[in-house]
Amino acid sequence: MASKTRSPSPIPPPTPATPPPEELLRLYRSMLLIRRFEEKAGQLYGMGLINGFCHLYIGQEAVVAGMQAMAGPADSCITSYRDHAHMLACGLDPKGVMAELTGRSGGYSRGKGGSMHMFSREHRFYGGHGIVGAQVPLGIGLGFAHQYRNDGGVAHVYLGDGAVNQGQVYESFNMAALWKLPVVFVIENNLYAMGTASARHAAGDELCARGAAYGIPGERIDGMNVLSVRSAAARALAYARAGAGPFILEMMTYRYRGHSMSDPAKYRSKEEVSNMREHHDPIDRLRQILQDQGVIDEAGLKEIDRTIKASVAAAADFAQASPEPAASELWTDVLSEA
Amino acid sequence: MPIEILMPALSPTMREGRLARWLKAEGDAVKSGDALAEIETDKATMELESIEDGILGRILVPAETDGVAVNTPLALLLVDGETLPDANAAPPSPQPAPPPAAAPAAPVAVSAALPAAPLATHRQTVREALRDAMAEEMRRDPDVFLLGEEVGQYQGAYKISQGLLDEFGPKRVVDTPITEMGFTGLACGAAFTGLKPIVEFMTFNFSLQAIDHILNSAAKTRYMSGGQLSCPIVFRGPNGAAARVGAQHSQDFSSWYAHCPGLKVVAPWSAADAKGLLKTAIRDPNPVVVLENELLYGQTFDVPDDPDFVIPFGQAEIVQSGRDITLVAWSRMVQVALDAAQTLKAEGIEAEVINLRSLRPLDIDTLVASVQKTNRILTVEEGWPVAGLAAEIAAQIVERAFDWLDAPPSRVCGADVPLPYAANLEHLALPQPDTVAAAARTLCNRTSEGGA
Ligand SMILES: Cc1ncc(C[n+]2csc(CCOP(=O)(O)OP(=O)(O)O)c2C)c(N)n1
Ligand SMILES: [Mg+2]
């Protein structure tokens, strides 16, 4: 895909508030693909084809879609276990993602990683990590490598509102700021860490201010509006890419489903969820813009929906048809050949 | 074609559920994401969401149906203006759920530790036994408190602390942020002053974030302070592989913690073990690691009624006696060993099954006595073989009972790889009754059923 550039890219010109029609449609498709993919994953889980933990991203689509829209060709990405969407947004094939969820040989980790542990060297997607907060120091390591190689890339490091309380996050903030590493920390504040509302786990109001002591600029963004995310991404990435150091974006967002599949979600009211769904849905909001601006008509929207559904259905078929890994795979990949 | 709405699997271990009630009626328009029905499992009540926009055409399983198997069609959803194909077609009746996987065969416990007199008992799940152990000890001693992620309002990620917040309040049932290193250090500090924290790790995998405090602060401080500062603390939570949760969430820490002087380590199998060992752990003035197992939480056993029932550390239990080979196991592997013993019995091999219960201190005397009878020993360990507890047991048996052995001390362990996610590979990676039986057969010099 991307060719590597050897020198830092120049700061891009400021992005206009409303991107051109083709870009709006790209954002729309990207979010819709995530939504439909996750709905299908939920169904396959219900049918017993996906097991273990499975953390859906439904409701949060604008965050990764908006960030990834501004990603540079050498950028890298790392996140937690809630990772399917990031993979799709990084351009990975839905078939390989779904087949990993079903634990089949056609999956990105050949069935050995599962939903929380998927990677693609080719797309510079470094996982998929099951230990809350662990991806943050790993992520500044990606930033360190970008700086070391001077390849113009920025590391996109995603973490939840719950993860910001892990000590290793602050060790990472300190080093990233000290060494001006090209990193954008994207805090996906969906208001809950499992069943704990952020007010019950985090002192202070704004998570974007958690880097202040290290001199890391932070902004709180409406993460349910993909256009706000996109312009924030442009600012933060330009800052990091220019060598000014890390940047924190706190994306205010919401997950509609439970934490994982087995979460009864008793810690929040139905009204809260339905209010977010009905009045703040990122896909509905962009669809409205597309229609208001005459970018696309009803038939065009239907066509997009149909194509995306078909690709998700194809991914689901592939994920069921792909065979389980061969028994001999149990013993492979433990170590590299020395 | 109308879409069949199926009974979903709502957790890694769910096989069946109860359809509690319908939230929509036949003929109602529904949107994708709308809640259609309430499903109850042993852990929780959950909503079943619609997967498409449409009309709820027909309800196939009425409200208040128990034991509906995963994947049973619950209703038909009509999309894009469809109508029902044949209104007279008889609705399929709900499929009975398959019998719960690996129901324990309720073996009669022949205990090396307990008095022979029969105790009055009641049936209880491991989950309830752990909860009762904590509640009873918290009533008994105001210095005991529980802290961890989701232990309070959420009632425990695996519902172990159910009801404790209501009874003891937020001062003694403390919800922490996701900061294992921080809250474990805090708990050790509090324990230095004489408080008796119970630290719940959501799973022991996350104790790796805090292992520095478990070893450097909890295990070593008494020694380093010349006996001045003790650390009366319990670290507990589910350990080992659950079901299909991948390598980072499926590790057995038995040998890790059993390695360390300054700690005591126990691993309950039955509900009685869970209750008796956890109570002893809470009363113990030392740091104790209690390794539970998620797959056992829902299993039911007999538990003594006596509120002062405790199980002393360092005493293994002979769960089943036999004369041909000793099978040593702990935690969930006890059931695997019992299942293997059943297979072997049909072939004329009588296995003695020992539930270790306590990993440090290790009840080597009971193992030696057993080997003096059977002359063969096979340890079943879920964890990795290299430098594992099975290796330690083999070494001690060789040191103490070499002359009684008719075969080398042996072991069946988890495969020496990170645990894979794929269903077939996960099965291959963990000790199973047939692999244990095969290893036992080899030790007894019998290559096939009825042979030699
Ligand atoms: C070190 C560690 N502790 C606990 C867990 C269990 N756990 C998994 S996700 C989670 C909540 C994380 O919440 P947040 O960071 O807000 O991310 P979100 O799930 O909302 O995306 C917890 C406690 C874990 N995986 N790792
Ligand atoms: Mg969160």
The per-residue pLDDT for range A102-151, each reduced to its tens digit, is 999 999 999 999 999 999 999 999 999 999 999 999 999 999 999 999 99
Q: Using 50, 70 and 90 to split pLDDT, how confident is the model at B2? A: confident
Percent helix, strand, coil in chain A (nearest 5)? 45, 10, 45
Residue-wise pLDDT for B159-212, tens only, equals 999 999 999 999 999 999 999 999 999 999 999 999 999 999 999 999 999 999
Averaged pLDDT score across all residues of chain A: 94
B131 by Cβ neighbours in 10 Å (0-12 / 13-18 / 19+) ranks as: buried
For the cut 70, the answer to whether the pLDDT of residue B365 exceeds it is yes
What mean pLDDT is predicted for residues B212-231? 96
DSSP code string of B91-150: PPPPPBPPPPTT----PPPB-SSS-SSPPPEEEEEHHHHHHHHHHHHHHH-TTEEEEETT
* Contact state of B150 with A262 under an 8 Å Cβ cutoff: no
Cis? peptide before B115, omega within 30° of 0: no
Give Cβ neighbours of residue B108 (< 8 Å, ≥ 6 apart): none
What mean pLDDT is predicted for residues B276-284? 98
What mean pLDDT is predicted for residues A164-168? 98
Q: How far is CA A142 from CA A12, A146, A155, B104, B138, in A?
A: 22, 6, 6, 49, 47
Q: Does A204 touch chain B (CB under 8 A)?
A: no
C-alpha–C-alpha distance, residues B424 and B365, integer Å = 38
Give Cβ neighbours of residue A330 (< 8 Å, ≥ 6 apart): B415, B417, B420, B425, B428, B429
In chain A, whose CA is at the least distance from the CA of B414? A330
* Contact state of B150 with A195 under an 8 Å Cβ cutoff: yes
Q: For B170-260, where are the E strands, in sequence order?
A: 173-175, 196-200, 234-238
Residue-wise pLDDT for B118-139, tens only, equals 689 999 999 999 999 999 999 9
Percent of chain B with pLDDT over 90: 75
A115 chain-B contacts, CB cut-off 8 A: 246, 421
Cα-trace Rg, chain B: 25
Residue-wise pLDDT for A250-296, tens only, equals 999 999 999 998 888 889 999 999 999 999 999 999 999 999 999 99
A212 by Cβ neighbours in 10 Å (0-12 / 13-18 / 19+) ranks as: middle
With contact defined as beta carbons under 8 Å apart, do B180 and B205 qualify?
A: no
Catalytic annotation on B249?
Answer: yes
Q: Please report which helix (H) or strand (E) contains residue B348, including its range.
A: none
C-alpha–C-alpha distance, residues A49 and B429, integer Å = 20
B202: closest CA of chain A, how far (Å): 11
Domain covering B121-304: architecture:
3-Layer(aba) Sandwich (3.40)
Structure tokens at A9: 């890219």
pLDDT of residue B452: 38
What mean pLDDT is predicted for residues B240-260? 96
Residue-wise pLDDT for A9-35, tens only, equals 444 545 556 899 999 999 999 999 999
C-alpha–C-alpha distance, residues A191 and A182, integer Å = 27
pLDDT of residue A74: 98
Which residue type is seen at A34?
I
Q: For the domain B3-78, what is the CATH code?
A: 2.40.50.100
pLDDT of residue B109: 42
With contact defined as beta carbons under 8 Å apart, do A207 and A164 qualify?
A: yes
* Site from A112, A187, A271 to mutate, B interface, most B CB atoms within 10 angstroms: A112
Pairing of strands B325-329, B351-355: parallel
C-alpha–C-alpha distance, residues B56 and B65, integer Å = 19
Query: For tokens 């509102």, what's the residue?
Result: A161
Catalytic-labelled residue, pool B16, B149, B213, B249: B249
pLDDT of residue B85: 62
**Domain spans in chain B, listed from the N-terminal domain onward:** 3-78, 121-304, 317-444
For the cut 70, the answer to whether the pLDDT of residue B221 exceeds it is yes
Chain B residues 275-334 with CB within 8 Å of chain A = none
CA angle A167-A171-A174, nearest 5°? 140
With contact defined as beta carbons under 8 Å apart, do A99 and A318 qualify?
A: yes
A304 by Cβ neighbours in 10 Å (0-12 / 13-18 / 19+) ranks as: middle
Structure tokens at A20: 């051109």
Q: Does B83 touch chain A (CB under 8 A)?
A: no
pLDDT of residue B113: 46
Ligand 1 atom closest to the Cα of residue A60 is 21
Percent of chain A with pLDDT over 70: 95
For the cut 80, the answer to whether the pLDDT of residue B102 exceeds it is no
* Contact state of B154 with A48 under an 8 Å Cβ cutoff: no
Q: Does A336 touch chain B (CB under 8 A)?
A: no
B162 CB-side CA count, 13 A: 13
Percent of chain A with pLDDT over 90: 92
Residue-wise pLDDT for B380-399, tens only, equals 999 999 999 999 999 999 99
Q: For the domain A25-315, what is the CATH code?
A: 3.40.50.970
| B121-304 and B317-444: identical CATH topology | yes
Q: How high is the ipTM of this complex?
A: 0.90
Structure tokens at B105: 């065969």
Question: Pick from A43, A52, A166: which is nearest to B12 by CB?
Answer: A52
pLDDT of residue B116: 52
C-alpha–C-alpha distance, residues B363 and B316, integer Å = 6
pLDDT of residue B446: 63
The crossing angle, in degrees rounded to 10, of helices B271-283 and B126-140 is: 30
Alpha carbon B314 to chain centroid, angstroms: 20
With contact defined as beta carbons under 8 Å apart, do A221 and A184 qualify?
A: no
Residue bearing the CA closest to ligand 1, atom 20 = A193
Choice among A250-264, B150-164, B288-302 with the minimum mean pLDDT: A250-264
Better-scored residue on pLDDT, A74 or A266 = A74
B324: closest CA of chain A, how far (Å): 33
Q: Kindly tell me the sign of the dihedral angle through the C-alpha atoms of A13, A14, A18, A19.
A: positive
C-alpha–C-alpha distance, residues A113 and B54, integer Å = 36
pLDDT of residue B86: 58
User: Could you count the other beta carbons within 10 Å of the beta carbon of residue A220?
Assistant: 18
Give Cβ neighbours of residue A290 (< 8 Å, ≥ 6 apart): A24, A25, A28, A296, A301
pLDDT of residue A15: 54
For the cut 80, the answer to whether the pLDDT of residue B1 exceeds it is no
Terminal-residue alpha carbon distance, chain B = 61
C-alpha–C-alpha distance, residues B156 and B144, integer Å = 17
Quote the pTM value.
0.88
Residue bearing the CA closest to ligand 1, atom 7 = A132
Better-scored residue on pLDDT, B31 or A173 = A173
pLDDT of residue A264: 81
C-alpha torsion A260→B9→A111→A116, nearest 10: 0
C-alpha torsion A110→A111→A116→A117, nearest 10: -30
* Contact state of B177 with A193 under an 8 Å Cβ cutoff: yes
C-alpha–C-alpha distance, residues A62 and A280, integer Å = 11
Cα-trace Rg, chain A: 19
**Domain spans in chain A, listed from the N-terminal domain onward:** 25-315
Percent of chain B with pLDDT over 70: 91
Strands laid side by side in the B45-49 sheet: B45-49, B35-40, B16-22, B65-69
* Contact state of B422 with A104 under an 8 Å Cβ cutoff: yes
Q: For the domain B317-444, what is the CATH code?
A: 3.40.50.920
C-alpha torsion B240→B256→A172→A7, nearest 10: -80
Ligand 1 site residues, Cβ closer than 6 angstroms? A 82, 130-132, 160-163, 188, 190, 192-194, 259; B 149, 178, 180, 202, 206, 209
C-alpha–C-alpha distance, residues A245 and A184, integer Å = 9
Q: Is B255 helix (H, G, I), strand (E, B) or coil?
A: helix
Helix residue spans in B249-290 (DSSP H): 254-258, 271-283
For the cut 50, the answer to whether the pLDDT of residue A76 exceeds it is yes
